[in-house]
Structure 1
Amino acid sequence: MKKVVKSGSIKFLILLSILFTSSEIYAQYGYGGGGYGYGRGGYGYGRQRSTIPQAQETPKEPEPKTAEQLVDGEMPSLTEALDLNDFEQAVLSSVLKKYVQERIEAQILKLPPEKMREVYENITKRQDEELKAGLPLEKYEAFVALQKEGVAKTLKKKKKEKRKKTKN
């Protein structure tokens, strides 16, 4: 009886080894399904490539922002820096939108540098006159100072002043 069990287990081991090696041979050499590319034109395995070159899409340039988008993006920081109420905020926003639009139009014209400087000075002069008429004097002066120093520096100064007031 021991011989029967041994021969049965040997047969079983041989069968298992044949199964494992046949799948390995199939994986390595591609037998089965034509083998070596028969019947598939040689493209049976690996990455499929097209002979037609693919056109690379050029990334679209971001559209330039409009005057309204530029001003709306800056208004929260300007409002905070100048402590504007709703009316003053509306006046400042409308005036800035108008003159930023004029500056954008001047850039589109691509004038020579001397002429461009002259146009910008004229736009700035008219903007200042309109802001002086629409805003209270202290807010206008604060806006002019803000333009010279920059919004970030003005906001830092305000934070420092608040800290000093809270410490005292």
Structure 2
Amino acid sequence: MKKIIKTGNLKFLPLLLLFFMGSECFAQYGYGRGGYGYGRGGYGYGRQRNPIPQAQAEPKAPEPKTAEQIVDAEMPSITEALGLNEFETAILSSVLKKYVQERIEAQILKLPPDKMRELYESITKRQDEELKAGLPLEKYEAFVALQKNGVSKTIKQKKKAKKKKRKKDKA
């Protein structure tokens, strides 16, 4: 009976030795992936490259702005250029939103150029009449000049006029 136990231990000992040596080798030499202790052989470091080409997603076309967004973006500079109070700003904003919306709708119709010009002229005429009725005369005239010259030029002219006035006051 003692011979059976000794023979069993002898078979078990080489298996145990092989098991521990095998795990030690994998631990030292990069888990068997060809690294030999110099990292992981390119596995797991840096950006991984996929051999399958990726389809490029088409960039979305920017959504057209609404009349309200267009007017709200321009109102601070118009208010600064004309020196409007809150009531006048509200009137101007509501009128501009209404008629900018009409212009956008006219563009969607894609009419022939001569009819488009007539439609734009009628929209501008109605807008001017409504603004003339809602704003004081000097503010209305300043707005018409602003449309003719542009916002940035009007602001520059206003600043120059203030500087000249300050120079005269100092002298």
Q: Please say whether Structure 1 and Structure 2 have the same fold, judged by a TM-score greater than 0.5.
A: yes
Q: Deviations over 1:83-139 (max 9, x none)?
A: 111111110000000000111111111111111111111110110011011111111
Alignment root-mean-square deviation, CA: 2.1
Matched, 1:81 2:81: yes
AA of the residue aligned to 1:108? I
Query: 2 CA distance for matches of 1:51 and 1:167?
Result: 72
Deviation at 1:48, TM superposition (A): 4.8
Aligned twin of 1:103: 103
AA of the residue aligned to 1:33? G
Deviation at 1:141, TM superposition (A): 1.0
SS of corresponding position for 1:111: coil
Task: Map 1:136-155 onto structure 2 (within 5 A).
Answer: 136-155=136-155
Deviation at 1:32, TM superposition (A): 7.9
AA of the residue aligned to 2:55? A
Deviation at 1:166, TM superposition (A): 1.3
Deviation at 1:145, TM superposition (A): 1.1
Aligned twin of 2:162: 162
- Unpaired segments of 5 or more residues in structure 2? 1-28, 35-40
Percent of aligned positions that are identical: 79
Aligned twin of 2:54: 54
AA of the residue aligned to 1:121? E
Deviation at 1:80, TM superposition (A): 1.2
Aligned twin of 1:120: 120
Shift in alpha-carbon separation, 1:67–1:34, aligned structure 2, 3 A:
closer
- Unpaired segments of 5 or more residues in structure 1? 1-25, 36-43
Deviation at 1:49, TM superposition (A): 4.0
Aligned twin of 2:66: 66
Matched, 1:33 2:32: yes
- How many residues of Structure 1 are paired with residues of Structure 2 in the alignment? 132
SS of corresponding position for 2:56: coil
Deviation at 1:160, TM superposition (A): 0.4
Aligned twin of 2:4: none
Deviation at 1:59, TM superposition (A): 1.6
Aligned twin of 1:133: 133
Query: 1 CA distance for matches of 2:165 and 2:51?
Result: 73
TM-score of the superposition, structure 1-length normalised? 0.71
